[in-house]
Amino acid sequence: MNFTEITALYDEYICGTYSRFPLAVERGKGARCTDVNGKEYIDFSAGIGVNSLGFSSDAWVEAVTGQAQKLNHVSNLYYTEPQALLAKKLCDKSGMKKVFFCNSGAEANEGAIKAARKYGIDRKGAQAYEIITLDKSFHGRTFGALSATAQPVFQEPFGPMLPGFVYAAPNDISDLKAKVSANTCAIMLESVQGESGVLNLNEAYLQAVAEICGEQDILLILDEVQTGIGRTGKFFSYMHFGLTPDIVSAAKGIGGGLPLGAVLFGEKAKDVLGPGTHGTTYGGNPIVCAGSLAVLEQMTDGFMLEVAEKGAAIAEQVSTMPHVTGVSGLGMMLGISVEGIDAPTVVSHCLEKGLIVLTAKEKVRFLPPLTITMEEIKTGLDIFESVLKEV
Ligand SMILES: *Cc1c(COP(=O)(O)O)cnc(C)c1O
């Protein structure tokens, strides 16, 4: 099918929830892909941080196809080896103790919210279900995750939210202290707020939050859906700040392209969800877990260092380009502030010239596959610079 035929079917049959850019991707390898017209692109988006190893990497394809030929699915009434191995690997790499597998970031946060509420209610009483989240956060589109997402723009069309969420200003510890109460069961945050413009929380703030949590038996929940699995140059971003979270949600990059989410529990919270309290049909599917194992196989200390170095190199080069007024983020999760041109225009022009980039609110956002080479980075940045020079 050609581009027009494909988009005609979308227009007629697919729910209009996205404003899409004019690109229909046909195939890809690593940080390069080809559209249905045969035009090539460098990818600085990784499917919004999903394709950690790029498009269809050999290791991932081999793991997924090998598992698909052996066993596609059994229910969570039974056991499979890939799920067992993946849970162990996630705990080994993170210091967390137990894992619940699901299928997306929103679902991972739903699991985190349920566990936190149950922890509070079990320990402090029936009213102790309040969760503090931060303004400009993004935790997903389902009702619990949406209620946690302190952005009216996402919530307003849908009537009342789930009760029990209290919103605090990011990087403002006195505001947080004012909002903590005897009913607070958890504080949930992203160390770098991805969807809101790649906004970094500062280290002193994160450590102060952790301290409050520790003192008052409040669970610290890190939403690592975007920042996790090597994206920031550490396996999880909280490792940059010496934090020991009680619950971590992960998704996006964890599956390397297939839908997988995980809720990781630390010592305090690892037994909160007992038999019958939570569940999902697909979560921990063996094919998806096999693919994830291939992703985690890559996440060595040396690889993390390379991610950090590549991210720093990109940030440094971009910061000297025309229109650029600042670069935020961590590792290969970068937000680029531009002046005199708006981010969607930059994205469109880049696409025309064969570079896929994202926006995050008013910024241009880069989330390249973690395996991108320095040569591919150079090709991409040359395109990016030429776009900024022309406009
Ligand atoms: C993308 C994202 C989510 C939602 O993940 P889905 O898989 O789209 O449900 C949640 N939290 C953060 C920080 C995200 O970036």
Residues 279 and 312 in one domain: no
Residues 143 and 279 in one domain: yes
Residues 133 and 153 in one domain: yes
pLDDT band at residue 11, thresholds of 50, 70 and 90? Answer: very high
- Whether the predicted pLDDT of 274 surpasses 90: yes
Strand blocks (E) in the chain: 25-29, 32-35, 40-43, 98-102, 130-134, 165-168, 184-189, 192-193, 199-200, 219-223, 247-250, 261-265, 324-330, 333-338, 355-356, 358-360, 363-366
User: Per-residue pLDDT averaged across 279-302, rounded?
Assistant: 98
Number of domains the chain is built from:
2
pLDDT band at residue 228, thresholds of 50, 70 and 90? Answer: very high
Domain boundary among 297, 325, 360: 297
Q: Atom 6 in ligand 1: which residue has the minimum CA distance?
A: 105
Q: Atom 11 in ligand 1: which residue has the minimum CA distance?
A: 139
Q: Give one DSSP letter per residue of 336-370, joined into a string.
A: EEESSS-HHHHHHHHHHTTEE-EEETTEEEE---T
CB-defined site of ligand 1, < 6 Å: 104-106, 109, 138-140, 190, 194-195, 223, 225-226, 251-252
Distance 138 CA to ligand 1 centre (A): 7
Distance 277 CA to ligand 1 centre (A): 23
| Residue 263: closest CA among 121, 122, 112, 387 | 112
Distance 233 CA to ligand 1 centre (A): 19
321: exposed, middle or buried (Cβ count in 10 Å: 0-12, 13-18, 19+): middle
User: What CATH number does the domain containing 239 carry?
Assistant: 3.40.640.10
Residues 236 and 313 in one domain: no
Q: Atom 8 in ligand 1: which residue has the minimum CA distance?
A: 105
Share of residues in the chain with pLDDT > 70 (%): 100
**The predicted structure's pLDDT at residue 1:** 95
| Ligand 1, pocket-test mutation among 195, 224, 280, most atoms within 8 A of CB | 195
Residues 314 and 282 in one domain: no
Distance 232 CA to ligand 1 centre (A): 16
Q: Residue 301: which residues within 8 A CB-CB, separation 6 or more?
A: none
Distance 106 CA to ligand 1 centre (A): 6
User: Per-residue pLDDT averaged across 262-274, rounded?
Assistant: 98
Distance 149 CA to ligand 1 centre (A): 10
- Whether the predicted pLDDT of 382 surpasses 90: yes
Residues 37 and 126 in one domain: no
Q: What's the pLDDT tens digit per position in 168-201?
A: 999 999 999 999 999 999 999 999 999 999 999 9
Q: Atom 10 in ligand 1: which residue has the minimum CA distance?
A: 139
User: What CATH number does the domain containing 355 carry?
Assistant: 3.90.1150.10
Domain boundary among 250, 282, 297: 297
Distance 354 CA to ligand 1 centre (A): 26
Domain boundary among 270, 297, 324: 297
| CA angle at 127 for the pair 124 and 132, rounded to the nearest 5° | 90
Residues 119 and 198 in one domain: yes
Q: Fill in the DSSP letter of residue 254.
A: G
| Ligand 1, pocket-test mutation among 48, 237, 252, 280, most atoms within 8 A of CB | 252
User: Per-residue pLDDT averaged across 97-126, rounded?
Assistant: 98
Instruction: Calculate the CA 236 to chain-centre distance.
Output: 11
Q: 184-189 and 219-223 as β-strands: parallel, antiparallel, unpaired?
A: parallel
Whether the pTM exceeds 0.85: the reply is yes
Task: Determine the atom of ligand 1 nearest the C-alpha atom of 137.
Answer: 13
Distance 236 CA to ligand 1 centre (A): 15
User: Per-residue pLDDT averaged across 94-103, rounded?
Assistant: 98
Residues 278 and 137 in one domain: yes
* Domain ranges, residue 24: 3-52+300-390
Distance 386 CA to ligand 1 centre (A): 32
Residues 70 and 24 in one domain: no
Q: Residue 242: which residues within 8 A CB-CB, separation 6 or more?
A: 207
Residues 370 and 286 in one domain: no
Instruction: Report how far residue 347's alpha carbon sits from residue 119's, in angstroms, rounded to the nearest whole number.
Output: 44
Residues 148 and 242 in one domain: yes
Q: What's the pLDDT tens digit per position in 341-352?
A: 999 999 999 999
Distance 235 CA to ligand 1 centre (A): 17
Residues 178 and 314 in one domain: no
Alpha-carbon dihedral angle through residues 314, 315, 321, 322, given to the nearest 10 degrees: 130
**The predicted structure's pLDDT at residue 391:** 81
Instruction: Report how far residue 256's alpha carbon sits from residue 56's, in angstroms, rounded to the nearest whole number.
Output: 9
| Residue 235: closest CA among 325, 159, 304, 158 | 304
| Ligand 1, pocket-test mutation among 137, 226, 231, 236, most atoms within 8 A of CB | 226
Q: What's the pLDDT tens digit per position in 76-98?
A: 999 999 999 999 999 999 999 99
Task: Determine the atom of ligand 1 nearest the C-alpha atom of 194.
Answer: 15
